[in-house]
Structure 1
């Protein structure tokens, strides 16, 4: 009698994992489709957004692994991942549609948190339902799983948002000419040399302002725009034009200014430090993307590497920078304050150490904080301490109206910087 082997083949154990992976990819596609529907067709997929989506999903899966390990139900991992990400795909489509059709529901932070809480409760209900255990065990395991899942979900949303998977049509640049990296680096000495040759010396006994503006991310033109516009405002308010340096990473205009890399930044700071007198003020403005204790100097073709808070602090000290106003405009920029604060420095950050800032869009002229602080507040109030308060009021109103998590800009004033600022402003 012939026996027929009906046991699963060797590939079957991997099938649940493949199905789970397919569900994750489907959730990305749903998010991308929702963003296309909101912003309109004709844009492009964002590599940065893809990286954030992968990181977001990895954090959520890690939370499921931890939660299921704690309750001894690792056998449910593939099923939970599959169903959770399928549900997430549906919820993301629904929320983007709601955001487009009924934006008034997202006009306050309380409403945003309420909508987010409902979404999370639906996801938690699905996970707890899948446990299927006796009542007492089911309740205990459900509480553990829910707590771990909500914690990791909070981390995923806070640090790895997926709102930039899609670059809208107005911001997409499909016709860009490839950057000539060899020519880019060959031009650095000429570009930096020209700026340094034009950098005016200090006038002994006269309080003057030296300025540096740096835009760190090449792929979004808003940072180059801020470098130029902030430099013009600092010249208009403090007469810093003859004592100003500009560094910028720009995909569209790679050789307009020296690269915003760590070597050029250190050199620029050293040149300012060598010229700055004790009565003078340095105004340093850095704008880009950011992470905790990290500021993006991002020009992939040029191989630039991000700047850490500790590295920036060391550069400032090595350069001998004297009294300074330092403005760091980036997500999580408040994390730089502990490293660079000093008695003779006023440090301003666009966001708290655990918060994102907003408005980093290709094609925009300003980020939200840059517009509020420089373009509006500082134009009418040259004292940066007072301008900061005006900017915070505007940013707070705008973020509340848009239903965004507050960025909570920060300021740290050293005890010795006030007198220097007062002398400069008195001129």
Structure 2
């Protein structure tokens, strides 16, 4: 009889099946923010948001190098603009590492790139989609600003358009950056306005999916700006639990209305009506999404929409309203 000892020893050398099959766990928000943020007064929080404050802690040098390489690859892949063509540059960013935002930013980048003929001129920043570590640069304030600066280098500000989609948790001072227990920060309407002004980007479609995101509308509105927000300045929006595929706003606007070959204003109206129905069915306090479309927007939006695909694509993912109903 053959000895089973070599076979038994080989089995012992193998990793346990449970370890092999262990599911990936996305970054968790389990620790309080650093004292510099946690102990700030409301006035100091506003100052931090206006400055685009970002605090990183417990990051290894290996992580920093990998993040640098991810960002460098993403920025280097952007195509230059085409002379005589109104080109859209899409920047889709998830500022929080909860997977709902990572999933939403990824699909928003795809939908907006297809709609506005921006394949090759689209960059997506965000954390994990919930299945594996993210190969994308994180949606931090610093990465966001670097991406914006690179887009500004490539585009012709007199001809081309920035299409920005930002999704995260929000607050009365703006949108929040939070990558697990390691990354913290804020971006306020005044900060975003200052960045766009510094780069001379006046032609822009700005979409912010976050609670209280209506605070961006009065500050960013202008003749050449189309601005859409998920909620009024004093209201919450819904659907941002980490397990969701979409927020209410992202599902209604990106996943449904903007997939169709219809004008932006009509798509916004459709999305607002859909959100109102969902909120009514769930007996939620209305979020009151806001929109502002400047008088000069048609100059760049008309040629972009003339190139829209003529066939709609189907929504993907689990509908956001399902998260509020029993299985």
**Do both proteins adopt the same fold according to a TM-score greater than 0.5, normalized to the shorter chain?**
yes
User: Residue in 2 aligned with 1:373?
Assistant: 253
Q: Secondary structure at the match of 1:305?
A: strand
Which residue is equivalent to 2:101?
223
Q: Deviations over 1:347-401 (max 9, x none)?
A: 1000000100000011211111100001110111442221100000100011011
Question: Does residue 265 of the first structure (1) align with residue 265 of the second (2)?
Answer: no
Does the alignment pair 1:207 with 2:75? no
CA distance in 2, matches of 1:48, 1:424: 45
Quote the Cα distance in structure 2 between the aligned partners of 1:182 and 1:361.
31
Unaligned runs of 5+ in 1: 1-44, 50-178
Change (3 A) 1:296 1:48: farther
Structure with greater strand share of residues: 2
- Give 1:343 deviation, angstroms: 1.6
Partner of 2:185: 305
In 2 relative to 1, CA 251–300 (structure 1 residues): closer, same or farther, beyond 3 Å?
Answer: farther
Candidates 66, 70, 83, aligned match of 1:191 = 70
Structure 1 CA distance for aligned equivalents of residues 284 and 69 of structure 2: 43
1:25-424 maps to which residues of 2 (within 5 A)? 181-218=60-97, 220-250=98-128, 253=132, 255-277=134-156, 278-424=158-304
Whole-angstrom CA distance in 1 between matches of 2:62 and 2:262: 40
TM-score (norm 2): 0.73
Structure 2, unaligned stretches of length 5 or more? Answer: 1-27, 33-57, 308-327
SS of equivalent residue, structure 1 residue 343: coil
Q: Is the 8 A contact 1:187 1:255 kept in 2?
A: no
Count residues in correspondence. Answer: 254
What SS does structure 2 have at the residue aligned with 1:241?
coil
Distance in 2, Cα, partners of 1:245 & 1:264: 11
Q: Which has the higher helix share?
A: 1
**Pairwise CA distance, 1:295:** 0.4
Q: When the two structures are superposed, what TM-score results if normalisation uses the length of structure 1?
A: 0.56
Moved more, 257-266 or 322-331: 257-266
Distance 1:202 1:285 in 2: 20
Give the drift of 1:201.
Answer: 0.4
Q: Which has the higher contact order (CA 8 A, sep 6+)?
A: 2
Q: Secondary structure at the match of 1:285?
A: strand
Query: Over alpha carbons, which structure has the higher Rg?
Result: 1
